[in-house]
A and B are shown apart, each in its own frame.
Chain A
Amino acid sequence: MDFQFFLSLICGIFIGGVAGYLGTLMLSKRMVLVAGPLGHLTLPGIALALIYGFDVSLGAFPFVILGIVLIWLFEMRTKLPIEALTAIVFASGVAIAFLFLPIEQAETALVGDITKVGLNEVVITVLLCLLVFFVIKKIYLQITLINISEDIARAEKINIKRYNLLYLGVIAIVVALGVKMVGGLLTAALVAVPVCAARNLSKNLFQYTFLATFFGIVSAILGILLFELTGFPVGPLIILMSAFFFLISLIFKKR
């Protein structure tokens, strides 16, 4: 086991874990698919990062923020459904990216690659993941209550705007980290699939969050191991592993 493999593994474990954990919040308001468009529209940022050789997540992050702000602004101005606006924004992102994305790097942009991460990148990733984990833990019950009923949350004197802002911030960071691991195309799956498997098997919030995080982590480990064995692209392997867990969970799901 060489050092590079070790770095990829650490990176994968942390990103996979927090993405799974975050997914448990996003599934409850049918928001998981939002991570898809957000991942797509980071593509111009990824392209820039690949061309100029800096961290993919760093390139992606401003584009996620830009995307969220644009969707929010358009929604205020037009009152069009949010999914239509999301489509406009993310499709434009993909289109722009393909104007200048070098074709030989298209695969990295689309399905990610954590097999070449450097030490600094891993340290930053781990720190960000820890930050995200603690923020989610802190806002978890409040966001869940907001997801269940905004009225009741408001009556409980929860500052909904503040919590939603933190929540969106966390989503932006996780998407930016996710595209590093599984690319602009597959980020939604990183958030959605482990949590779906977890939901099939859980009776309470602890099992739910624990299993989602666990499936996120184990999928990343197995995906990276399989890459070492087969040489197939690592992003798709990770997602396929989590899809495999989802299938297994169907067998054990109690009706």
Chain B
Amino acid sequence: MNTNPILEVKNLNVILAGEEIIKNLSFEVKEGEVLTILGPNGAGKTVLLKTLLGVLPYQGEISWKQGIKIGYVPQRLPFIKDIPMSVSDFFKLKETLQEETKEILNSVGFKENFLNKKIGELSSGQFQRILVAWALVKNPNVLLFDEPTTGIDIGGEETIYTLLARLKEKRNLTILLVTHDLSVVYKFSNFVVCLNKCPICQGEPKEVLTLEVLQKLYGEEVKFYEHHKH
């Protein structure tokens, strides 16, 4: 594993429509890491991913290593079922050539005949796999993954996490993953950033996710202003 940081975030503040969503966040991601961003609903996790993706305004510093390509897997695409679209059409939206589409579909475990399937007729597990495949277009180095639905059957024995783990190895990916599911953090990632608007903690999951931290993260009476030291 390379120790060069692929991403450095310093004193990040995000304010949307007058509301402070992310406050004073700093962290680093090294090449090949799987970083989870953990926090309750409304903690600003998705906003953080979108800010890292470069589509939201922010203050502070976000520096990606030069020449890095980012793939983004959104949480959902609510309007997509309004449009009769085949899997092949869906990839054309990103100007993907047929050959590349086939290769990517293959790498997430779909056969070629999937190209002609209608998006609206996919099961939610299949659709999630297609979204992952879609993010792999143009060979990104980093995958930003917003809240994979846990527990859905994506086909065969695989869960979305074993799929990600496999892709990570094969394609040498660095993965940033948003979730509120604790089990994912332990099983899958080697670094965690806990977020509830203010940063609560960060470090290796087994070290930093103490009961106290979790109460602070998810409990009712969270005191935002004490910074947890570790």
Bind each other: yes
How far, in angstroms, from A46 to B84 measured CA to CA in the complex?
Answer: 36
CB atoms of A205 and B79 under 8 A apart: no
CB-contacts of B57-108 with A (<8 A): 70, 72, 74, 77, 79-80, 82-86, 88-89, 92-95
Interface size of B by Cβ–Cβ distance < 8 Å?
23
CB atoms of B77 and A204 under 8 A apart: no
How many Å from the CB of B128 to the closest CB on chain A? Answer: 15
Also in contact, A204 and B53, with CB within 8 A (given A30-B82, A145-B93): no
Q: Which residue of chain A has its CB nearest to the CB of B70?
A: A155
CB atoms of B53 and A155 under 8 A apart: yes
Q: A202 contacts the other chain (Cβ, under 8 Å)? A: yes
What residues of A have a CB within 8 angstroms of the CB of B82 in the complex?
A: 27-30
Q: A208 contacts the other chain (Cβ, under 8 Å)? A: yes
Which of A29, A151, A202 neighbours the largest number of chain B CB atoms within 10 Å of its CB? A151
Q: A154 contacts the other chain (Cβ, under 8 Å)? A: yes
How many Å from the CB of A129 to the closest CB on chain B? Answer: 23
CB atoms of A205 and B55 under 8 A apart: no
Also in contact, A149 and B70, with CB within 8 A (given A27-B82, A155-B55): no
Q: B23 contacts the other chain (Cβ, under 8 Å)? A: no
CB atoms of B50 and A149 under 8 A apart: no
Which of B55, B77, B118 neighbours the largest number of chain A CB atoms within 10 Å of its CB? B55
Q: B54 contacts the other chain (Cβ, under 8 Å)? A: yes
Q: B215 contacts the other chain (Cβ, under 8 Å)? A: no
What residues of A have a CB within 8 angstroms of the CB of B4 in the complex?
A: none
How far, in angstroms, from A169 to B79 measured CA to CA in the complex?
Answer: 23
Interface size of A by Cβ–Cβ distance < 8 Å?
24
Also in contact, A144 and B72, with CB within 8 A (given A204-B85, A205-B84): no
Q: A4 contacts the other chain (Cβ, under 8 Å)? A: no
Also in contact, A151 and B55, with CB within 8 A (given A29-B79, A204-B116): yes
What residues of A have a CB within 8 angstroms of the CB of B118 in the complex?
A: 203-204
CB atoms of A204 and B89 under 8 A apart: yes
Which of B85, B88, B94, B118 neighbours the largest number of chain A CB atoms within 10 Å of its CB? B85
How far, in angstroms, from A199 to B70 measured CA to CA in the complex?
Answer: 33
How far, in angstroms, from A208 to B82 measured CA to CA in the complex?
Answer: 11
What residues of A have a CB within 8 angstroms of the CB of B72 in the complex?
A: 151-152, 155
Q: Which 10 A-B pairs have the closest CB atoms?
A: A204-B86, A202-B84, A154-B55, A205-B89, A145-B93, A28-B83, A208-B84, A203-B118, A151-B55, A28-B82
10 residue pairs of the A-B complex, CB under 8 angstroms, read A141-B93, A145-B93, A147-B79, A155-B72, A203-B116, A204-B88, A205-B84, A205-B86, A206-B89, A208-B85
